[in-house]
Amino acid sequence: MYAVIQTGGKQYRVAQGDRLDVERLGASGEDDVALRLLLLVDGATVLATPDELSGASVNARVVGDAKGPKIKGFTYKPKSNQRRRWGHRQHYSTIEITAISRG
């Protein structure tokens, strides 16, 4: 059985026991979170409409935090001595899927 969930504006295919990095959640370590379910596949049975998914749920546990790779950028405008160096490092929450239920 697997499910397709949505969090942080992205969609992920998950099964029970999977660990993945998602956009930072408001929960701290060892908190349980419920994720938005878009699709549930159980063998030959596919649940996709809101009526079919009304009782289904996907629960996860926040395991920790992670950081993405450092992105370095540089912008400039020629002939005007205008230069700017910037960087970004995305923060993620690491979650573990604890349960997928059909309801």
Rounded distance between C-alpha atoms, residue 26 and residue 60, angstroms = 13
The domain tally of the chain equals 1
pLDDT per residue as tens digits for the range 5-62: 999 999 999 999 999 999 998 877 778 999 999 999 998 999 999 999 999 999 999 9
Among candidates 93, 99, 96, 97, which has minimal Cα distance to 28?
A: 93
Angstrom distances, CA of residue 31 to CA of 15, 21, 53, 61: 19, 15, 24, 6
Percent of the chain predicted with pLDDT > 70: 100
Looking at residue 16, its pLDDT comes to 95
> Dihedrals φ, ψ of 56, to 5°?
-80, 155
Residues 6+ apart with CB under 8 A from 61: 30, 31, 32, 33, 95, 96, 98
Q: Which domain holds residue 75?
A: 2-101
